[in-house]
Every structure is written in structure tokens, then in C-alpha cells.
Amino acid sequence: MPVPELFVAMMKEEWRIHSTIFGNLGFALFPAVIAVFAFLGSLTLPIFADVLPYDVAALLAHIIFLLMGVMVGSFGLMGREVMNRRFGQASLVAYASRSLPVSERRIFAAFLAKDTLYYILLYVLPFSIGFAAATPFISLDPGYALLAFISLTLAFLLGLALVCFLSTLYAHSVALLAGTVAVLAVVGLAASRFGVPLLPPYAFFLDPAPEPLLLSLILILIPAAVSVLFVTVEYPDRTKRFRNRFKPMAEHLNGLGSAHFIAKDALDLIRSEGGVGKVIFSFLLPLALIWVCLQVLIRFIPGIDPLVVFAVLLGVLSATIYNWLTEFDSFTSYAFLPVEVSEVIDAKLKAYALANLLPLAVLVIAAATTEWTVAFFPALAAFVSISAYTLAVTVYLCGLHPNVMLYSAGVFLRYILAISPALLLLIFASILDASYAFAALILIPAAALLLSRARKKWQTWNMPGT
């Protein structure tokens, strides 16, 4: 089967998976929501230009799209689990090499091309259209919209290609991954000392010259080519043996209630493919990018308390741990047991609370290794409150299926509208005085109320197609 035919089949398959859940209109409107928010956000640029110059706002936008590419590019790490656990009874094109005379490389090349176009149409193009619509109102040359589309696409592809490359290495050897990351870190530091931009797409946006464009293409095409050449989609059968840790673990967790469910989630996460990789690519790497952003913002926004802002963003990011706990699980696997949806949700929440010790430890380390320790307790209050509230909004809107439900235009819009005001108010208040971050504690009762309603809401709901 030629790559173009595989590509078309995968595009149709991706659309059908999402449109089956939300309906064609509900999913088709998702890019429109992105465009509207990009338009509204662009209109605010002149208002905050004194504290957030246009070039800094552009840097943040490029980092965000780099991060999106990082999230999308983890197929090499997660592919085996996605196929075996979530779609075990489905015949996906990406697993066609099992039954058809189609090579792994051809399948992955088509998959990479599909993800590139699909998510550019889903995220980058709508964002650029929203920005373009706002340029007449903020006295910017509309040509910047085309330039932004090109550079943001490059940033997205850079993140996607880099993580495809790293996760492909991880699938072959953890030692190889560690060595490659160390080499890349050294090369990056050396390049920065010689004036080579660490984010070439952003450099191209500031100065659309051939050099940063060529460097961006090199950094995208070489890792992508290596990923295609050495991809592992057809995984060899291996017999895995584990000690029976379920009962001992459940006994240790007995005091929490829902011990057996929590033990199951813990074992699923530990024994899943790329368990450590999930932490690196889905949490620590995005967190490192957030840290870099804060180092930039400190220079331009006077009075900002980096630890409080870091704690707020850490709280939002930590809510993705709930996505890990539900990513490959479905209530249908419990359907033949005397178990209610609310019981499963409660267990996920308790497992989330335990896993949330990881971001808490990150916050403690960040405070201990910087000069920002004076704001630790306000930052801690902000982290706990935002984490609880974001989790509650996620559970209320998405139930046990956040990884797919957030692609519904209506759900995504409500998610943004529920979370954004609290985040912005908290960040701006902390600029005036870090102690204002304690006000975030009022979000905890709101989170409790949302979780109570979520248990009732999802008790009788079944995900389409399950």
C-alpha cells in the first residue's frame, strides 16, 4: 500500500474516532474555538505591551506550540500501549503491518505525515487565522500572520520530531536515550555560547532570514528521518513475568479506601510501557519549558513572583496526572462487576492525590534551590488550590475520558472558561503581592462541589462506542 493511500486512510480514521464520540459538528468546531481565543488574546496585546512586549509574547507562543509538538510526538513511546490496551479489539491502520504486507517504516512515515497535517489544521492554522483577524485592530501588518503560521508550524514540528526521535531511542534502549540527551544538552549549551539560537523558529519569526529557516528544517528533518528508519511498531512478543504485588499493595493502601482500585492504577502505571518515559515527556519536559518561560518573564514583568506563577502553572500541569490514570482505562472493563462509576472516579481521585506528591516535590525543590523561598507558603496554597480545582473541572466535564472529551468544541470551551479567569486573577494578584496567592484557597470548596456533582453526572453516562 503506497504511503499516500495510508496517509488518506489514517486521516479518515483520526476524524472518525473523534467525530464518533462528539459528532461531526462538535469536533469540527474545535478549531473555531481555538481561532476565537487566539483572536481575543491578540486583541489584548497592546494592553499588556508595557509589561509583556510583543517579542516576549511571540516567544511564549512559540514555546507553547513547541510543547504541543512534544505532546503529539510521543507515539514512539506510547504506541504499544495505545494499540494493545485502549484499542485492543479495533483494527487500526497503524497496526496494519501485523496483517498486511506493509512495512513498519512506511506505516510510521504515513503516521508522522498524518499527525503533522492533522494537528497543524487543528491547532496552528486556527491560531494563525485568529491572530490574522486581530491584526487590523492592533495596528500590525497582516503579513505577520503568515510569518507566524510558518514559524509556529516549525516550532510545532520541532517538538514533534524531537520527541519522536527521543521516544524511538527509548523504545530501543534507555541507555541510548540517556546518552543522546546528555550529548544534545552539551551541544545545545555550546551552540548558545556561539550565538546559535536555541529556538530557531522563533529566530526566524524575529528575522525571516534563510539561516534560521534552514536550521529549523535541519533540526526537524534529521530527527524525523531517524525516527522513521528505526521505528518499532511491530513489537516482538515477549513474556513478562511480575511478582504478585497487587494484594500486598492493596493491604498497604487499605486505610485510604478503594485500595484495590488504587493498587490496580498504580500497577498499571508502573508496568505500562514507558512508565518513566511518561513522566519525562508528559510532565518534566513541559515543566522545564515553563521554567524557561519564567526566566524570560522575570526580566520584563516587574514585581512578578516566579515561584507563585510557577506553582499556578504546576497546578494546571499536575492535573494531567488524572489523564495518565484514565488514559488506557474504560469503565466497560468494570461493567460485569458490582461497581459504580462514582466508585471508580473516587479511586482515581485518591490515586491522583498520591501521584500529586511528585509535582509537590518539584515545587519544594524549586523553592529550595532558588532565592524565592520567602513565597513558598503562598505558592503552596496556590498549587494545592489550582491543582484541586483544575482536577475537579476536568472530572466534571470529562468524567473518565479526559483524553478524548477535551477535543469536543463545547467541552473545551467550557474547560477554558472555567479555568482561565481563576488563573489570570491569581497571577495578576500575585504580581501586586505574593501573599494574595492565599486567596486561591477559596477554589477548594468550589472543587469539592464540582466533584460531588460529577459523581452524579457520570453515574449513568456511557462513552459512545464503548
Q: Please give the average per-residue pLDDT across 429-456, as a whole number.
A: 88
Residue type, 446: A
Q: What is the pLDDT of residue 84?
A: 46
CA distance 28 to 7: 20
Per-residue pLDDT tens digits for 339-388: 777 888 888 888 888 888 888 988 888 888 877 667 889 989 999 999 99
List pLDDT tens digits, range 423-435: 888 887 877 788 8
**What is the structure's pLDDT at 466?**
44
Using a pLDDT cut of 90, give the percent of the chain over it: 14
Residues 405 and 296: their CA atoms lie apart, in Å, by: 33
Question: Residues near 222 by Cβ (< 8 Å), separated by ≥ 6?
Answer: none
User: What letters, b where the CB count within 10 A reaches 16 and e where it falls short, cover 21-36?
Assistant: bbeeebbebbbebbbb
Q: What is the DSSP string of 188-213?
A: HHHHHHTT--SSHHHHHHHS--HHHH
Rounded distance, CA 410 to CA 22, Å? 9
**What is the pLDDT at residue 80?**
46
At 35-68, the pLDDT tens digits run: 988 998 898 888 877 767 788 788 888 888 888 8
C-alpha dist (Å) from residue 223 to 112, 158, 342:
12, 9, 44
Question: What integer pLDDT is reported at residue 274 of this predicted model?
Answer: 52
Q: Which band of pLDDT confidence, cut at 50, 70 and 90, is reported for residue 437? A: confident
**Cell output for 122:** 487543528
**Closest C-alpha to 171, from 106, 236, 89:** 236
Cα–Cα distance for residue pair 447/396, rounded to 1 Å: 10
Average pLDDT over residues 88-95: 50
Q: Does residue 127 have a pLDDT over 70?
A: yes
DSSP H/E element including 248: helix 246-252
3-class DSSP assignment, residue 223: helix
pLDDT at 20: 55
> So what's the pLDDT on residue 74?
61
58 neighbors 207 (Cβ within 8 angstroms):
no
Q: pLDDT at position 265, please? A: 74
Residue whose cell numbers read 501521584 = 355
In whole angstroms, give the CA distance from residue 156 to residue 50.
28
More confident: 367 or 291: 367
Between residues 338 and 346, the one the model is more confident about: 346
pLDDT tens digit string along 128-157?
999 999 999 988 888 889 999 999 999 999
Evaluate if residue 69 carries a pLDDT over 50: yes
pLDDT, average across residues 309-321? 85
pLDDT at 368: 84
DSSP secondary-structure letter at 235?
P
* pLDDT for 312 beyond 70: yes
pTM across the whole model: 0.67
Q: Which cell numbers hold the place of 260?
A: 484495590
Torsion sign, CA atoms 395, 396, 399, 405: negative
What was the pLDDT predicted at 282? 63
- State how far the Cα of 87 lies from the Cα of 110, in Å rounded to an integer: 19
d(CA 23, CA 407): 11
- Residue with the bigger pLDDT between 35 and 462: it is 35
Inter-residue contact 464 to 20 (CB < 8 Å): yes
**Contacts with 386 (C-beta within 8 Å, 6 or more apart), sequence order:** 311, 312, 315, 316, 422, 423, 426, 440, 443
Looking at the chain, the whole-number percentage of residues with pLDDT higher than 70 is: 73
In the predicted structure, residue 216 carries a pLDDT above the cut 80: yes
User: Distance (Å, rounded) from C-alpha 317 to C-alpha 150?
Assistant: 27
The pLDDT of residue 150 is: 94
- Residue among 36, 109, 39, 85 nearest 333 (CA): 85
Contacts of 427 (CB under 8 A, 6+ apart): 308, 309, 312
CA distance linking residue 338 with residue 357, whole number of Å = 31
